[in-house]
Structure 1
């Protein structure tokens, strides 16, 4: 006769199954966990994993039952509150301490336990669980805790808007399919059921997802451009499809390039000269899926920048790469990309120069300066490129706006001062600081290839000039060039004295 509590007898049976599966899988003597799993047969290892999973689900059932009961005894509002007697504000906090887990996991145990446990009416009558089909499946271990929580949240969410009979049918379908399709498949099925049971809720849910869409782009200290985003279904569908299609085409091409069955042996037998296809390992596809996704997104962006069908704003811009002409010819040195802080190798520029969508800007002494005078009000793309090379982005002191957020503006205003559209009269400013210059009455002048900002008297009675921003690459290049010129001058000054020194 088994003297164990009835509630634990099934748990003991499962524990015995784990013992049998573990022992039966061993091909050698049992020592410890690490040694045991290494000497298990393949099939035995699978059976042991499955037995442990069944035991785990049974333990989770008991945990959920205990959690629900603890929660019920911790809501009395008097001195009998179990959680407070043990020094915790809620039953969930007590469970977190007991399990060493997260608060969300403890709350999930409570919710599942309450949704699948029998209830009592005010008269003391025993009532079935709130979700009886889910309770049966969860109790038997057919549905895992994660899947049960998904189903429970879905049923509670649509309960007030769905027909009761339809809701019961949906519950039966979910507990039937969850063991087969797993948590992710259950989630996909829930989305479709929710649309059928609550058709009026589809649009509000879509609007909620759309309002939560976001995309953040930033450059980290290593120079990597990071993207983190979330898209609603309508916005994300074309992005997902485009990337998956490009990556799928690459994967198909790589698969088709692999030799067929027997092709390698046939090729070897014919000295490598046969008709059988042979994949050269040197050129074989070696990118991860994540890397292929990144490359696909970059390809889509390049196409957008070069397409005649792109939005007008995209057709008006281009990726500008700045490289010294001598460096480009020799393949040495580096280049910079407008809006990107990290430099790139000159070899990279050479690769880009052979593809569409990139405009190298050759910076060397003697380049012709573009002057438009009064013949044109707006600065040309070439003029803006030269101004960005000087200012970096917005020239306002300490402003971090990149070139893509700026426009070229006249230092001497076009209308009021009849200023020309020439480089000496241009400056790059973001919209905010352009308005500040006009509204507050700042004066700007250019000296030594750098902008200077003089505040109005009501902001600074002394009107001390503030140095404007300068492109980091321009600053570094000029600083190093200045040092080199000084050292060359020193060597030329010292050379005659050394040459005229008396012989020893």
Structure 2
């Protein structure tokens, strides 16, 4: 009888074998077979990593310091379990320590009497065993749960574990990090302000010239970075829009700068204008910094706020300070605002409507690029389907995702009303035959939703 622990891995191997059957006979894989093989390899990798984490935890247990020279790692000539695992895999010492940490968090335990206990994080253990999340994502989740465990209590940690594991399945590691950052603010809003102070105390800007180039290195807190990012990203977006409308984009003298080059040029242009402008103002780049906060939190001075384009929440104190500054728009949720649905008379989304879409979608509803790099698009085309210019018929998309939606058969459904609505991305049949809706926009990171 096969070990049920290996069942997910063996099933993934079988799916890969089926997908590769034609290739073994010398036939190229179709796109469907290629995607099937790709998914099977990904699932195999996650299952293998989960098993490896389990083994790493066992190796660490057999190499624990109290065993002295009788520890497994020292018997084989290594100073620690992590060093032994890294040498075996050919990987980094940090990767080996991550395997051990995740394995220990997901491994069954025993009490002082030798009685069996469930894993410290059972939902995480189940997801790892099924190949639903990667070890890298699990490590980010475990790190958060360990940080807040004593402060918020077991019940909140268990709730957070369940929600994080559920949301993390199918996410990239970068998206999981964003989800974890939002979850930490939800679990421990009082911990945001001290982290802000630490970040502000570490702020620095160094400048030097070397080999004919000027080098600049900036580190600052999230709030201070918001207008910098907004201005530079608006410049980059305007540059790419100019490329699209250029008479001959392929001409030898056309703009072929990389994004990094454009960002460097943006900073130089903004500074040139700042020192030349009589009134100290800045050019109208279309850049806007939006800080969103719940009315109850703002009134009570508790909780956190979120700056568009940033994964890290900020404290209410920082939110109030930013809202008092120029060029920054506070969006207070729960308060009464202006009418946002203008109907068909308006072809383009108004500034207020776009701000509301930013509040709902957080940026590109599909790939999460920041708001400054997106446009408001009609779900039902304004001319073709007489679609109205209102929130229920609008979505923020970057240029690439806009083409992907229309060219590849994706659908978008808005569920709910106004800024509290959810955006669902529905893949075409060739991507997912079941066409299972995928949560898009800001809601995908809203752990409290």
For the pair 1:297 / 2:294, whether they are aligned, the reply is no
Match of 2:148 in 1: 158
- CA displacement, residues 271-321 of structure 1 (integer Å, 9 cap, x when unaligned): xxxxxxx5464364422211211111110110122123459xxxxxxxxxx
Distance in 1 (alpha carbons) for counterparts of 2:168 and 2:152: 21
* Counterpart position of 2:131: 141
Contact persistence 2:124–2:138 (CA under 8 A) = yes
Q: Which segments of 5 or more consecutive residues in structure 1 lack a partner in the other structure? A: 31-38, 259-277, 312-504
**2:321 equivalent in structure 1:** none
Alignment of 1:5-24 (within 5 A): 5-24=3-22
Structure-to-structure mapping, 1:72-111, within 5 angstroms? 72-75=61-64, 76-111=66-101
Match of 2:113 in 1: 123
Seen in structure 2, the aligned counterparts of structure 1 residues 228 and 44 have a Cα distance that, compared at 3 Å, is farther
| TM-score, normalising length: structure 2 | 0.58
Q: How does 1:47-86 map to 2 (within 5 A)?
A: 47-75=36-64, 76-86=66-76
Offset at 1:90? Answer: 0.9
Displacement of 1:160 in angstroms is 1.0
Residue number in structure 2 paired with 1:363? none
* Residue among 13, 26, 30 paired with 1:29: 26
Matches within 5 A, 1:311-460: none
How many residue pairs get aligned? The number is 279
Q: Distance in 2 between matches of 1:239 and 1:205?
A: 20
Counterpart-to-counterpart distance in 1, 2:187 and 2:45: 33
Q: Which residue of 2 aligns with 1:240?
A: 229
Taking structure 1 as the reference length, the TM-score comes to: 0.52
Taking only aligned residues, the RMSD between alpha carbons, in angstroms, comes to 2.2
Other-structure match for 2:429: none
Counterpart-to-counterpart distance in 2, 1:232 and 1:309? 27
Residues 137 and 143, structure 1, Cα contact 8 Å, conserved in 2: yes
CA displacement at 1:9 relative to structure 2:
4.4
- State the Cα distance separating 1:207 from its structure 2 match: 1.6
User: Residue 213 in 1 paired to residue 203 in 2?
Assistant: yes
The whole-number CA distance in structure 1 between the counterparts of 2:58 and 2:24 is 44
Alpha-carbon distance in structure 1 between the residues aligned to 2:202 and 2:134: 30
Query: CA contact under 8 A between 1:209 and 1:232: conserved in structure 2?
Result: yes
SS at match of 1:217: strand
Does the 8 A contact of 1:18 with 1:52 survive in 2?
Answer: yes
The structure with the larger Rg is 1
Structure 1 match to 2:256: 286
Query: 2:401: which partner in 1?
Result: none
After superposition, give the CA deviation of every residue in 1:406-448 in whole Å (9 maximum; x if it has no partner): xxxxxxxxxxxxxxxxxxxxxxxxxxxxxxxxxxxxxxxxxxx
- Deviation per CA, 1:4-39, whole angstroms, max 9, x where unpaired? 545434433322222222224x29628xxxxxxxx4
1:197 aligns with 2:187: yes
Q: Which runs of 5+ in 2 are unaligned?
A: 282-449
Give the structure, 1 or 2, with the largest relative contact order (CA under 8 Å, sep 6 or more): 2
Shift of 1:155: 0.5
CA distance in 2, matches of 1:93, 1:149: 19
